[in-house]
Copies of this chain bind each other. A is one copy, B any other.
Amino acid sequence: MRYAVIGAGAVGGYFGGRLANAGRDVCFLLHSDYDYVCSHGLRVDSCRGDFLLNPVQAYRDAAGLPQCDVVLVGLKTVNNHLLPGLLRKVAGPETLVVLIQNGIGMEDDLQKAMPGLQIAAATAFICSSKIGPGHICHMDYGSLTIANYSCRDTAKLDTLVGDLKDSGVETYTADYLLARWRKAVWNMPFNGMTVALNTSTAQLLANPATRQLIKEQMMEVIGAANACGVMGLDESFADKQIATTDKMTPYKPSMKLDYDNGRPMEIDYLYSHPIAIAAAAGFEMTRLKMLEAQLRFLSNNK
């Protein structure tokens, strides 16, 4: 199996790096880091063991990538409009494209743009960040959940899961809608609220008023998921998410990091799309729609 990684940042770089470090054939599409990685390699400082990849199969231009069996996409969703162009060469009819992204609706949009494409979704549970060119720091966790969206070649999906496990990545599989909405139960409240109130997950949970609000927002996501036909998410799942977050070290979600660093926020796929999908299923996400409006305001008035 030949792999490509598009968006080799904190997430794509880590999982692609793990595969390459275990001897898999992995091509990395790089932009600003291309020259640095060509001469110094890709370094991963990881709580599960540091490693350095050198040399790296680095590509500067998507048009130069060979056709691959699996493409791991680690881009932020704000760049998803670039995907059809980036995938044109690397993805053929047999290729499986895996979106390791946060949000809901990315697969629908990509499928509309590229009807024959085989797509899977992945949700990452990981604390990692890019701390310099070709340099990723992996602080905690590091598991991946893979969910089939439109992959006809399920053997390839199984091989991907096996390769990840063999590379030291804790890997699970799940139903597509369940995987995406389950992740949203945590993502939608905490990402936006840490930005809106300029704070951390721990402080939000320490205050009784916002702790209650976070719970209500989680229940809103669960209500939306149920309306969309996702079963197996209920109040106990929300309580478990809050209990888990209580035990985490105070944490800045990715949207908070994006906002603080002047990068665009993933408002479309983290808020607007799921809110619209839920509304189409007859469920109003009133609180998260309000949060979306506050984020739109902050995004335009920074």
Contacts and interface: CB of A to CB of B under 8 A. Distances in A.
A213 B203 CA distance: 26
A212 B196 CA distance: 17
Contacts of A204: 297
A290 interface: yes
A213 B294 CA distance: 9
Given A196-B196, A199-B301, A207 B296 contact: yes
Nearest to A288: B290
B301 A207 contact: yes
Contacts of A301: 197, 199, 203, 207
A298 interface: yes
Contact of A212 (B207, B293, B298, B300): B293
Interface string A270-302: 000000000000000011001111101110110
Contacts of A292: 209
A293 B210 contact: yes
A293 B209 contact: yes
Interface string A179-210: 00000000000000000110100011001111
Please indicate which of the listed interface residues A213, A297, A301 has the most CB atoms of chain B within 10 Å of its own CB.
A297
Interface string A206-241: 011110110010000000000000000000000000
Contacts of A208: 296
A216 B294 CA distance: 13
Contacts of A207: 296-297, 300-301
B287 A290 contact: yes
Contacts of A297: 197, 199, 203-204, 207, 209-210
A53 B297 CA distance: 45
Contacts of A290: 213, 216, 287, 290-291
Closest 4 CB pairs of A and B: A209-B296, A209-B293, A213-B293, A210-B297
17 contacts: A196-B197, A196-B294, A197-B294, A197-B297, A197-B298, A197-B301, A199-B297, A199-B301, A207-B300, A208-B296, A209-B293, A210-B294, A212-B293, A213-B293, A213-B294, A287-B287, A290-B291
